[in-house]
Chain A
Amino acid sequence: DAKTTQPTSMDCAEGRAANLPCNHSTISGNEYVYWYRQIHSQGPQYIIHGLKNNETNEMASLIITEDRKSSTLILPHATLRDTAVYYCIVRVESGGSNYKLTFGKGTLLTVNP
């Protein structure tokens, strides 16, 4: 799985958009970008994933650059409940021969009132 680099921490004002970056310059053509988050003391929560097109769901938007070397997770209107560690994970879509989700250190997003 390709390595990812994320900032250690970010702050965001409540009600504003939170833009969380992720670098994955060694991504392969068949690898997807997944985003999860983990609110304190809870299990990780799947947010969104994509290959090369931008994706949007009820939780967030995922913007992937044309060269696929980086991506941004956008929470359009951050709330205090969005305070969490956000993980960017790159891997093939199916389980294949490697069934491990590799969670790095992620980005601690703090949403401030």
Chain B
Amino acid sequence: NAGVTQTPKFQVLKTGQSMTLQCAQDMNHEYMSWYRQDPGMGLRLIHYSVGAGITDQGEVPNGYNVSRSTTEDFPLRLLSAAPSQTSVYFCASSYGSLRWGEQFFGPGTRLTVL
């Protein structure tokens, strides 16, 4: 198993540009989520999905879109990048239900918005 993979590892954007952060898992996990991590702020939940076709907002969803067309993939779209979105982004997945808390995290995408 590759586990949770994220691409790209690093990205530099200019203000106003859009891009998609990719996340994939090969463990047939129901639950997937996106977090961002900023210095001194801990990890904050952006969006999550409890299964294909089902997504919902976390605590900091503004400026981001997600979709879940397959069980394996959960891309995060930045619509119009802003410097405040400079962060490290982590994708996570788990079996859901009673094993929800045993989450597998990807290696992260380090995004800089100029």
Residues of chain A having any CB pair with chain B under 8 Å: 32, 34, 41-46, 49, 89, 91, 93-95, 99-105
Q: How far is the CA of A32 from the CA of B33 in the complex (A)?
A: 20
Which residues on B sit within 8 Å (CB–CB) of A32? Answer: 101
Q: A94-B100, A95-B96, A101-B101 are in contact. Are A44 and B50 (CB under 8 A)?
A: no
Q: How far is the CA of A7 from the CA of B4 in the complex (A)?
A: 30
Query: 8 Å CB contacts to A: which residues of B38-52?
Result: 42-43, 45, 48, 50
Give how many A-B residue pairs fall within 8 Å (CB-CB): 58
Contact B103 A46 (CB under 8 A): yes
Across chains A and B, which 7 residue pairs bring their CB atoms closest together, nearest first?
A43-B105, A95-B100, A103-B43, A100-B45, A103-B42, A99-B48, A44-B105
Residues of chain B having any CB pair with chain A under 8 Å: 4, 31, 33, 42-43, 45, 48, 50, 56, 58-59, 90, 92, 96-98, 100-108
